[in-house]
Amino acid sequence: MHWIDWTIIAAYLTWIVWDGLRLTKKSHNIEGYFLASRSIPWWAVGLSVMATQLSAITMIGTTGQGYVFGMSLLQYYYALPIAMILVSLTFVPFFHNARVFTAYEYLERRFDPKTRTLTALLFLLSRGASTGAVIAAPAVVLSVMLGVDVTTTCLLIGLPTAVYTMFGGVQAVTWTDVKQMFLIVFGLVATVIALFLGLPDSVGIGEALSLAGATGRLQTMDFRMDPTITYTFWSGTLGALFLFLSYFGTDQSQVQRYLTARSVDDARTSLLMSAYWKIPLQALVLVIGVFMFLFYLFTPPPMLFNPVHDRQVRESARAGEYAVLEQRFTASIEERRKAADAAAAMDRGGDAVARALSQAAFLSADERVKQVRAEAVELVREVSGDRTYNDVNYVFPTFVMTHLPIGLVGLLMAAIFAAAMSTISAELASLSTASVIDFYRRFGGGSTADDRKLLLVSRLATGAWAVFASVVAIYAVEMGSLIEVVNRFGSFFYGSILGVFLLAIGWPRANGTGASVGLLAGMATVGYVATTTSIGFLWHNLIGAVAVCVVGAMVSALTGGRPTPPAEAR
């Protein structure tokens, strides 16, 4: 990478850490540190929420997903506007009026300490693990750039990000997110323009999209009722609805955001801002993946996008087999390029029959490319012993490093860092808040501690969670598409946690015993479904929530119920 690109990255990282640290003076008490003294304007909260969602996982994992599968992932977000409206009408005023630091504080008021503790513990485990996946995304980029192991790059990303979060608190997190959001969007738009310009002069946008459509990569609606298919219209509108309700309504990383807003109306507006813009931004990211596929139709791609594994196989005893595969791959790529050229030409001026025949020839050539690549991936798995090997996360970094001009490479790398840091810092802040408020202050003698001591413990907790997440990241990076990794982590917990809050808010006769037993039953049910069936992970959210509500209501009835509606949060 050119020194200009390194200078851009270094300047950006230095500026963003300094900018976060300078806000330390505004976090001198516990409410200022955790909730920014409830003083953040709605537009800043909204941009911060969006920056947290538009993580490096989105820029790396989702673009790779778009390259391989196309726009089908967009179905995952169809329920988001509905969820945001429901959260704005229910959870937002509820938590604002309760004047809590964490969502789980209310569970003790409504039920008992064990329900609060168990739910908060599940949040810490799920959020800590998913933060590791967020760290893993830029770690992939650094490992490609620097040629060092992923362990080193995970630590390099995770630990520095903790610095301004430890000292600046949510105030620093929010305002750095606002700045980072502009850089992220700029980087995405610049990539789309570069991909457009990278297509051959003889191939227009319309012909290119026709090729993508022929492979199914432009499909955004799949109405099949098969629950084993991960992304369908039904999983995106039903299963994902419960995921989003849990994430934005009960996950501390999001609840903490709208608790920093000045009023209930400001908090609602900030969430609705995300509801309006998330799907278009997600579509933009997936379009990048689709256009990377189109770019590599006319520009030869590597057989493997992960250079580390490529080198490992070349140096192994099976290097000869790999060389033969490379020859087949090169021939297949050239055959596909010619077929793509012919199909594009027919799309411009051929009749319907000619277009159909040319597209069929292109699809046949594309299948042969995929077959050779599948054989290469299998060879890597046999040589490395890693049966989970998947190089989808390396597609976007490879494109950036090998095909973008000097300067733009540095800007894109800085945008990926920005995306990672915005999400990591927000999640570390929420982990620290739940650790201190729901555990240290509740059980560790912190109830009598002054703000100075609580701030010290909070900063130590932030550092500890940064180390934990960095360790998780080392293992998450090879688990497949990072966007799916983080959603799998979340879907294992989200539905059950949401079920507890649905009992608390919507079932007046539910009691603590019912809520706790229901939560355990929900987790057990999701665990059973995840390990014994092939049902898509988005459905785990619905299954967990229903299991908690049904079991919780039954146990509450058997143990005496709760005779009067809750009055604590009025």
160 by Cβ neighbours in 10 Å (0-12 / 13-18 / 19+) ranks as middle
State the pLDDT at residue 25.
62
State the pLDDT at residue 17.
79
Per-position DSSP letters for 236-304, written without gaps between them: IIIIHHHHHHHHHHH-HHHHHHHHTBSSHHHHHHHHHHHHHHHHHHHHHHHHHHHHHHHHHHHSPPPS-
State the pLDDT at residue 104.
92
Q: How far apart are CA 530 and CA 168, in angstroms?
A: 39
Calculate the average pLDDT of the chain: 85
79-137 confidence digits (pLDDT tens): 899 999 999 998 898 888 888 889 899 898 889 899 999 999 989 988 888 888 778 77
Q: Which residues lie below 8 Å from residue 228, measured CB to CB, with a gap of 6+? A: 533, 534, 535, 536
Q: Which residue, among 230, 285, 310, 257, has the nearest Cα to 66 in the 3D structure?
A: 285
Is the four-CA dihedral 155, 158, 163, 167 of positive or negative sign? negative
Identity of the residue numbered 250: T
240-280 confidence digits (pLDDT tens): 888 888 888 888 888 888 888 888 999 999 988 888 888 88
Q: How far apart are CA 402 and CA 396, in angstroms?
A: 10
298-335 confidence digits (pLDDT tens): 999 999 988 878 888 999 999 999 999 999 999 999 99
Helix (H, G, I), strand (E, B) or coil at 488: helix
**Total Cβ atoms within 10 A of residue 564:** 7
More confident of the two residues 135 and 191? 191
- Is residue 484 pLDDT above 70, yes or no? no
Integer-rounded Cα Rg, in Å, for the chain is 25
Helix (H, G, I), strand (E, B) or coil at 40: strand
370-408 confidence digits (pLDDT tens): 999 999 999 999 998 877 777 888 899 889 988 989 999
Cα separation values, 276 from 50, 293, 423, Å: 11, 28, 20
State the pLDDT at residue 32.
83
Q: Which residues lie below 8 Å from residue 209, measured CB to CB, with a gap of 6+? A: 218, 294
Is the four-CA dihedral 58, 61, 64, 65 of positive or negative sign? negative
More confident of the two residues 27 and 480? 27
CATH homologous superfamily for the domain 3-296+399-475 = Sodium/glucose cotransporter (1.20.1730.10)
Q: Which residue, among 459, 483, 485, has the nearest Cα to 472 in the 3D structure?
A: 485
- Domain ranges in the chain? 3-296+399-475, 307-390
